[in-house]
Amino acid sequence: MAFPYEDIRTFLDDCEKNKEAVRVNKEVDWNLEAGAITRRQAEIGKGLTVEKGGQPALLFEKVKGFPKGFRLASNLSSNMYRMALMMGHPDPENARLDELQEIFMDGYKNPIKPMLVSDGACKENKLLGKDIDLYKLPAPMVHDGDGGRYIGTYHIVATKDPDTEWVNWGMYRVLIHNKNNMGVLIVPLQNIGLIARKYAEKNEPMPVSVVIGADPLSLFMAATPAAVGFSEADVVGGLRKAPLKMVKCETNDLLVPADSEIVIEGEILPNVTAFEGPFGEYTGYRASPRDKRPVIKVTAITYRNDPILTMSCMGLPVDDSHILASIGTSAIIKDALKKVGIPVTAVNYIPESGSQLLVVSTKTPFAHIATWIKDAVYALGGMCAYFRYIFVVNDDVDIFNVNEVFHAFFSRIHPDRSIHVSRNPSGPLVPAAPLEERKMGTAPVILYDGTWPTDWHPFIAVPPKSSFDNIFPKDMQEKVLKNWKEYGLK
């Protein structure tokens, strides 16, 4: 294992050695074909698994209409094994989501500032002025019905707060409008929305850099909601245990990972919008309505020789977008809940739900703790506005076992007592919301309180779980486990 990976190429090489990547040598059309292959691969794969080969990464070596060497890569983080590889887990074949959360939090709490270098591979080719042409890059038409060719689906959008040194990274979708203009989805609740509002108030253009094909940890951090004022590049250093090498852009002061495949520099102009969307999103639906959204005027394009454009064909779970978002989001929420005194035991932003359901397990020292948890989660803002369903359970439920979560939901939710609907700010991607709620960001939130009422007698009213580890004596459990192979069982 070559951890920490310096670029996406060494990661793909390692994946190929471990039978976790497939090189597609047959010519593939950027217009829907690459997207269709990626989506089909995701849907016939093994889903969220640690098994090698489950949803292998894809590297399309020949893209129709583009010079030799211009490539597309997809499905980069579609299973637990590859996430464990990119995060440096010591035993990737047996990694669990909660273990990856612990690795993430170690890096998050021990950040290392990046290292500025004078040059990087991302500078091998430069397009400036009249030479700027986004159509020179193999941006895919990902899904039929999308609003156009989305060049940013598995990438970094870097912006800088005008009043501080805070640099934010996010994976905010980016559409090609024409050869030197792009559209971007900016949700006011997200960190980029907070920064964009400051530039708008000053009536100043906002510098932005779109980084495609960065090293895998940088891409992972772009999909993770770090706290306001916390720069994702510092966390990447913490995860790597060494500084991330960064290089200054050509036409703005932003720093980007030096060995990225493609960097598109530009600025978001004040009061300039164009129609963006729709797009097939991680919810499994093309839910966000087409609307006028900010425009990025491109000021430079730099790229490596034989560049790889990383992409995601988001859709029905589980795919790369779901597992990528789960780990860091869950870990940050768990840490935040503990800081306010909530006796939380685990948090799982469940990938199988299409990143719609957050499950929290907790001890229940008093009544209505589930309501406290819901309020604390939404107080975090940002990406937390994206999930609309929170399910709180007692700590006897293994929330990393989807079967246990499913069973707990249908055995512990009382239709009158356990379901609470409230209004919180939301994003535009809520499939179940009416069109007006999606446009206005007013879709409701549902809290499912799956904790046993605190006034129920633990040995009389609370029903015991009928499971191997709960309803048999410990000595019988140990005997059965010890003799398991002697029974002739695997």
How far does CA 283 lie from the centroid of its chain?
12
Residue 32 confidence (pLDDT) above 60: yes
Q: How far is C-alpha 381 from the chain's CA centre?
A: 16
Say if CB 59 and CB 213 are below 8 A apart. no
pLDDT of residue 189: 78
pTM of the complete model = 0.91
Element (H, E) at 57: strand 57-60
Q: How confident is the model at residue 288 (pLDDT cuts 50, 70, 90)?
A: confident
CATH top-level class for 340-471?
alpha beta
Check pLDDT > 80 for residue 102: yes
Residue 124: band (very low, low, confident or very high) from pLDDT cuts 50, 70, 90: very high
- How far is it, in rounded angstroms, from Cα 280 to Cα 429? 10
Closest-CA residue to 171 (of 443, 383, 428): 383
pLDDT score recorded for residue 283: 81
C-alpha to C-alpha distance for 262 and 193, rounded to whole angstroms:
24
Mean pLDDT calculated for residue range 109-113:
96
pLDDT tens per residue across span 300-344: 999 999 999 999 999 888 888 888 888 999 999 999 999 999 999
Residue spans per domain, the chain: 8-310, 340-471
- How much is the pLDDT for 387? 73
Q: Is the dihedral of CA 410, 412, 418, 421 positive or negative?
A: negative
The DSSP code sequence of 339-385 is HTT--EEEEEE-GGGTS-EEEEEE--SSTTHHHHHHHHHHTT-GGGG
- Rounded distance, CA 321 to CA 282, Å? 6
266 is written with which tokens? 């530009």
> Which CATH code for domain 8-310?
2.30.110.10
Sequence length of the chain is: 490
Per residue in 42-75, pLDDT (tens digit) is 888 666 665 665 688 999 999 999 999 999 999 9
What are the phi and psi torsion angles at 392 (to 5°)?
A: -110, 130
Q: Is the dihedral of CA 129, 139, 21, 243 positive or negative?
A: positive
Helix (H, G, I), strand (E, B) or coil at 101: helix
